[in-house]
Amino acid sequence: MQGHPPRRGGLRVVGKAHRKTDATAKVTGATRFADDLFLPRMLYAKLLRSPHPHARIVRIDPSRALALAGVKAVLTGKDLPIPFGILPVSQDEHALALDKARFVGDPVAGVAAVSEEIATAALDLIAVEYEPLRPVRDALDAVAHPEPRIHAYGDGGNLHKLINLEFGDVEEAFTAADLVREDLLFFDGNTHLPMEQHAAAADWSADGKLTLWSSTQTPHYVHRALAQVLELAPARIRVIATPNGGAFGGKSDPFSHELVVAKLAMVTGRPVKITLTREEVFYCHRGRHPTLMWVKTGVKRDGSITGMHFKSLLDGGGYGSYGVASTYYTGALQTVTYHVPRYKFQGARAFTSKPPCGPKRGHGTPQPRFALEVHLDKIAEQLGIDPAELRLKHLVPPNSLTANWLRIGTMGLGACIEKVVAGSGWKEKFRKLPDGKGIGLACSSYITGAGLPIYWNPMPHSGVQLKCDRGGGVTVFCGSTEIGQGSDSILAIIVAEVLGLDPFDIAIVTGDTDLTPVDLGSYSSRVTLMTGHAAIQAAERARDVIARHAAQKLGIPPERAAFADARVFDVERPEHGLTFGEAVQLAEAAEGTVGTVGSYTPPPSAGKYRGAGVGPSPAYSYSACVAEVDVDAATGIVRVPKIWIAHDVGRCINAATVMGQIEGSVYMGLGEALMEEMAYRGNRNVMHKIPSLLEYKSPTTLEMCDVVTYVVEDPDPNGPFGAKECGQGPLLPVPPAVANAVYDAVGVRIDEVPITPEKVFKALRRKAKGEEPRYGPDRFPDILWPEPIRVPPPWEGGDGTATDGGGRARTGKVVAVARETVRGS
Amino acid sequence: MPDTKAKIALELNGEPVEVAFAPHKTLLEVLREDLGLTGTKHGCELGECGTCTVLVDGVPVLSCLVLGLACAGRRVKTVEGMAEGGKLHPLQHAFAELGAAQCGYCTPAFLLAAEALLAANPRPTRDDIKQALAGNLCRCTGYIKIYEAVEWAAAQLRGEDAQPAREVLYGHP
C-alpha cells in the first residue's frame, strides 16, 4: 500500500491536536478497567507462588484448602498441562508449574473462593513439597553453569538462544580503519510498572462459551493461548481487552492468571476474577532484559565507520517469553542511524532463575542504543570531532538498504539533531560548562511495527470493519487495543478525515475478538501505521459507495463528490450537496447496508536470511536528544534539569497524543537512566529485593525534568498520511544522552545504567586516585557461538540471502530449524 | 474475619449516604465494593503510589490507608463527584483536552489532588504543582501535560480567558 496524498483542500482533521475519544470517560472515572468489573455470583481467585527460585515440585496436596468454607475450586499444574508461550519457538510456560518452579513467584496453584480473603487464606492450606535445585543467578552464572538446566530445550546448557550473523568481513574493515575502539557496557533490567495491576475476569456460560475480560495489550494472542491450553474451539472463546491502565509491553504475553481464571470459571460454572497485587506484577514482569554488551567499531579520521562488531548477552529469566525476538533486537537496529558498511552481531540469551524478561517499551533496542551512543561519544572525543557533527556527517541516507538488509524510507535524524543542537545551545555548552554541569547528546531509531507477524501466516496484520448508519454516524470495528496511547482516537481521526466527519461522530469498537477483526495487538509501535492503513482502506471504500449515489442525486460525476463538514457536495459548487446521513441513506437504498472492510499487510522484507524477520519495518522513526545534568561530586547524585528531544514522526495524526507519547518516553527513559532497576538479592536465593512501588524507584514530579519537544514531520510513503511511530523511539536516546552528559560534567564514564549515585561516586573515587575514571563491566564471557550466517551487504553483491547456511553449532548440534518461525514482535 | 457488618453515615460527593461493610475494610474497598464507585483506583494498596487518592473533608488522603469506619460523619469526595450537572470541572476539561490522561488510571487521583491544591492556592507556580502532586505516580505522561492542565484549569477557575500555548500541543518550532 502506498501513500495517501492530502485530499482536496488539504487535511482537515489529521495533524491537529484532538481530545482523545475516550478522554471524557477517563477524567470522570467512567472507564471500566478489568478490576472494575463485578459480575453477579462472582468468585475471586488467588495464585500460590513458588518461594523457591528453582525447585522440582515433588507433591502438591490441596485437600485442606478445598475443605475451607467458601473455597470453590483449587487448580494445580496437572489441571492445565498443555504448555504455551507467546512465540512458537518458546512454548515453555504452563499456567501452573507442572514439574518445576523456575523463579520466586512462579505460580503453582490457583484457588477460587467466594471472597478474596478466603482465597488468600486457602493458599496457606495448600501443601507443596519442593526439592530445591541450584538456581541460576544471572547470565554470567548461566554461562558458567550449564547444569542443572532450567529448561530442557534451547541452544545448550542454560543458554536459550545463540545468534551469529555476519554482514561482510568486519575484521578486514577494522584493518582499514584509522581508529578501532572496543567498549563494554551493561544495561540493567527494569520493569514496566503500569499503575494498573494486571486483572482478568472470566465467565463460562452453560452453552459452552468462555468470555475473558483482561487488561491485555494482545487479545488475539490471549485468544490463541486460551484455545490451545483449554482445548476449546476458538469460536467458543471471546476475549475482551479492557482499557489498559498502562502497559508498556508488560501486558503483551498471555499470562498464567488469564488461563487460570478461565479454567476456574469453567470448573465452578461461576464468573471468576483475579487482580494481581503489586508484588505479583513484579513476578509477571517481562520487562527489560539485563544486557551485557561489547562493541568494537573501526572508524576513519573523519568519523566514518568502516565496520562494527556487536555482542550482547541477555539475562532472560525463567521463561522464553518474547526473548528470542528480544535477542535479535539487541543486534538489529545498530545499522539504521549511521552508515555501517560491514556489521557482525552475536547475541545470546540465558535462562536464569528470575521472573521472565520480555518486551518493554523499545523492546531489546534501548540497551544496544545506550551502548552504541556512549561508544560513539568516546570515539568522537578520541577523533576530536564534535559528537553532533560526527553523527550528522555519517547519517544513513533515506531510501536505502542497510548492511543487514533493512529498508530505510524517510530519515529525519539530521533534522532532529539540528533541532536539539540549536535549541539546547549545544555549541556554547559542550565541554564548556563549569565543573559539575554537563551536556550530552544521543540519537536513536525505532521500528513502526514489525514487518512479519509472530506466527507466520499470509494474512493481514490489521483489519477494520466500518458501518455507516442512516443517521450519519459511523462505527469502526478493529481488534486494536487501547492502552492509553490513543489508538482508538487514531481510528476516529483517520475515518473522520476520509469521510469528512467530526471524529466524535465516529463510534469506536476495539479489542473484542467476537466483535472486531484481528489486529495483532498494541506492541512494536505498529498500531497507528497498521490500523491506520486498514481504516483508510475501509473508509475509502465506504466513501466510494456513498459518492456514487450522492453524485447521482446531485447530477455530477462521482469524482466531483467531496466529503467535509458532515456533508457530501459538488467540489465545484460546495453549496450544492447533501448531508452525510442523506448520502448514506441513498447508498443504503440502492445497495443495502453500507459496510466495508479494510486491511493491512506490511511490504515484504529485503533480507531473506534466517533471522531477517526481526528488524524490518514499514518505516523507521528517528529521535535526537540533548540532556543537561548537574552532578554532585560529594554524593554522586545526578540531577537532570532539562532535556531537549526531537522526534521524526513522519506526520502527526493527533498532535496532542504525539506530544504525550514523546514526553512520556522521555520520562521513562529518564527513570531507566537514573534509578529504575529490577534488583535481586545477591545470594543464591535470587529473591526480588524490592517488589513494591516505594522501593522500585521511578521518577516522581520532583525528579522529572523539563522537556523541550520538537516534532519533525517528513511524511513517509509507507505511513498512513505519512505517519511513523512515536510511542517508543523517543525513550531510546535518553539514557545514553544522560551518560554522555555525566562525562561532560565530571569526566567519568558510567558505562552502565541505571546511573546511580553509588556508581558515579565510585568512578569519581577512581578518577581521584588516578585510576581509569569509569564504572562499568570488565569482561564479556567466552561463549561458544554457532558458525555465523554470512550475508553479503547490498553493496557487496548478493540478494539478501545467506551465502552459507551456518546453521550448525561447533558442537555439531543443529541450532537452527529449517524455517525460523520467530519473525518479530 | 468478622461476619458482622458495620454501618456508617457520611457525606459522599455532596449527598448523605449510609453504607454497611465488613469493619476491616479500607475506604478504598468500601468505595469500590460497597458503594460501586470504581472511579477510585488502586496501584499498590500500601500507600506508595497515590493512585487511590480521594478527598476527605477537602484534604487528599490515600483511601487504601484509611479505614472505612474512620469516615463516619466525614465529607468524602471522589472523581465521580467532580463534574456538576453534566459539566466537567475545569480540571477534568483541561486534563481531557491536553492529554493529561493517557491510560487514565492515575487520573482520578491527580484530579483530586490538584483540586485540593487549587482550593488552597488559586495561583500555584510550577513548583507548587510539583510539590502538591509529588505523592502521585504516573507512568504515561511524564507529568508535563498534567502540570500544563493544572495551570490552564487554575487560570480558568480564576476567570481568565486562557488558552494553552501552541507548543504545549504541537511542540516547539
Contacts of B36 in chain A (CB under 8 A): 38
Q: Which CATH code for domain A162-191+287-452+608-775?
A: 3.30.365.10
- Residue A310 sits at φ, ψ, to 5 deg, of -130, 130
* B150 inside domain: yes
| C-alpha span between A344 and A789 (Å, rounded) | 10
Provide ipTM, 2 decimals: 0.98
Which of B38, B134, B145 faces A700 most closely, judged by CB atoms? B134
The grid cell for A168 is 561482510
Query: Hey, which residues does B7 pair with through a beta bridge?
Result: B20
Closest-CA distance, B123 to chain A, in angstroms, reads 18
Contact: A485, B33; criterion CB under 8 Å? no
* B169 inside domain: no
Closest-CA distance, B128 to chain A, in angstroms, reads 11
The CATH label, of 3.40.640.10, 3.30.365.10, 3.30.110.30, 3.40.50.9100, for the domain at A23-29+460-600 is 3.30.365.10
Q: Which of A361, A657, A701, A705 to mutate to test the interface with B (most CBs of B within 10 A)?
A: A701
| C-alpha span between B138 and A698 (Å, rounded) | 9
Contact: B104, A25; criterion CB under 8 Å? yes
Contacts of A245 in chain B (CB under 8 A): 41, 103-106
Contact: A484, B99; criterion CB under 8 Å? no
Angle at B41 between CA B39 and CA B47, to 5 degrees: 145
Tell me the CATH number at B17.
Answer: 3.10.20.30
Given a contact cutoff of 8 angstroms between Cβ atoms, the answer to whether A798 and A790 are in contact is: no
Q: Which residue of A has its CA nearest to B97?
A: A19
Same domain, B74 and B96: no
Closest-CA distance, B169 to chain A, in angstroms, reads 5
| Nearest alpha-carbon partner for A466 in A436, A432, A510, A401 | A510
- Residue where a domain stops, chosen among B36, B52, B78: B78
Number of domain units in chain B = 2
User: Which residue type is seen at A185?
Assistant: L
Residue A3 confidence (pLDDT):
37
Same domain, B49 and B109: no
Q: Is A564 helix (H, G, I), strand (E, B) or coil?
A: strand
* B1 inside domain: no
Q: Which of B103, B107, B167 to mutate to test the interface with A (most CBs of A within 10 A)?
A: B103
* B83 inside domain: no
H-only helix segments in A212-365? 219-230, 256-268, 278-284, 323-332
Q: Between chain A and chain B, how many beta carbons pairs sit less than 8 Å apart?
A: 200
Which of B46, B95, B172 faces A423 most closely, judged by CB atoms? B172
Same domain, B50 and B98: no
* Same CATH fold assignment for domains A23-29+460-600 and A162-191+287-452+608-775: yes
Q: Is A119 helix (H, G, I), strand (E, B) or coil?
A: helix
C-alpha distance from residue A672 to each of A192, A362, A366, A440, A755 (Å): 10, 12, 10, 16, 9
Residue A1 confidence (pLDDT):
35
Contact: B46, A483; criterion CB under 8 Å? no
Given a contact cutoff of 8 angstroms between Cβ atoms, the answer to whether A424 and A733 are in contact is: no
Closest-CA distance, A489 to chain B, in angstroms, reads 12
| C-alpha span between A736 and A750 (Å, rounded) | 10
Given a contact cutoff of 8 angstroms between Cβ atoms, the answer to whether A733 and A369 are in contact is: yes
Residue A690 confidence (pLDDT):
83
* B170 inside domain: no
Question: CB-based contacts of A342: which residues, under 8 Å, 6+ apart?
Answer: A167, A168, A169, A170, A172, A173, A306, A307, A308, A403, A793
Q: Which residue of A has its CA nearest to B140?
A: A664
Q: Is A660 helix (H, G, I), strand (E, B) or coil?
A: helix
Identify the segments of chain B with pLDDT beneath 50: none
Same domain, B106 and B58: no
Q: Is A215 helix (H, G, I), strand (E, B) or coil?
A: coil
C-alpha distance from residue A197 to each of A84, A611, B76 (Å): 22, 34, 25
* B67 inside domain: yes
Residues in chain B: 173
- The residue segments making up the domain with residue B42 are 6-78
Given a contact cutoff of 8 angstroms between Cβ atoms, the answer to whether A454 and A633 are in contact is: no
Contacts of A668 in chain B (CB under 8 A): 139, 142
Tell me the CATH number at B96.
Answer: 1.10.150.120
Residue A689 confidence (pLDDT):
85
Closest-CA distance, A663 to chain B, in angstroms, reads 6
DSSP-assigned letter for residue A729: G
Which of A31, A483, A693 faces B44 most closely, judged by CB atoms? A693
Closest-CA distance, B132 to chain A, in angstroms, reads 9
Contacts of B110 in chain A (CB under 8 A): none
Which of B42, B93, B141 faces A660 most closely, judged by CB atoms? B141
Contact: A245, B95; criterion CB under 8 Å? no
Q: Which of A26, A643, A694, A696 to mutate to test the interface with B (most CBs of B within 10 A)?
A: A26
Same domain, B67 and B96: no
Q: Is B55 helix (H, G, I), strand (E, B) or coil?
A: strand
Listing from the earlier edge strand, what are the strands of the sheet with A437-447?
A437-447, A620-631, A638-648, A706-712
* B64 inside domain: yes
Chunk chain A into consecutive blocks of 10 residues (it has 825) and report each block's average pLDDT, rounded to whole numbers: 46 97 98 98 98 97 98 98 97 97 98 98 98 96 97 98 98 98 98 98 97 98 98 98 98 98 98 98 97 98 98 98 98 98 98 98 98 98 98 98 98 98 98 98 98 92 97 97 97 98 97 98 97 98 98 97 97 97 98 98 95 96 98 98 98 98 98 96 77 94 98 97 98 98 98 98 98 98 97 94 62 35 38
Annotated domain spans of chain A: 23-29+460-600, 34-133+197-243+251-284, 162-191+287-452+608-775
Contacts of B130 in chain A (CB under 8 A): 701-702
SS3 assignment for A396-460 = CCCCEECCCCCEECCCCHHHHHHHHHHHHCHHHHCCCCCCCEEEEEEEEEEECCCCCCCCCCCCC
Residue A805 confidence (pLDDT):
60
| C-alpha span between B106 and A22 (Å, rounded) | 15
Q: Phi/psi zone of residue A592: left (φ > 0), alpha (ψ -120 to 50 degrees), beta?
A: left
- Residue where a domain stops, chosen among B52, B78, B104: B78
DSSP-assigned letter for residue A136: -
Q: For strand A561-564 and strand A506-510, is the pairing parallel, antiparallel, or unpaired?
A: unpaired
Residue A67 confidence (pLDDT):
98
| C-alpha span between A99 and A59 (Å, rounded) | 9
Same domain, B14 and B70: yes
Question: CB-based contacts of A123: which residues, under 8 Å, 6+ apart?
Answer: A46, A47, A48, A65, A109, A111
Which of B32, B103, B136 faces A246 most closely, judged by CB atoms? B103
User: Which residue type is seen at A629?
Assistant: V
Closest-CA distance, A639 to chain B, in angstroms, reads 16
Angle at A190 between CA B95 and CA A674, to 5 degrees: 75
Contact: B103, A197; criterion CB under 8 Å? no
- Residue where a domain stops, chosen among B78, B101, B130: B78
| C-alpha span between A551 and A376 (Å, rounded) | 60
| Architecture of the domain whose range is A34-133+197-243+251-284 | Alpha-Beta Complex (3.90)
* B21 inside domain: yes
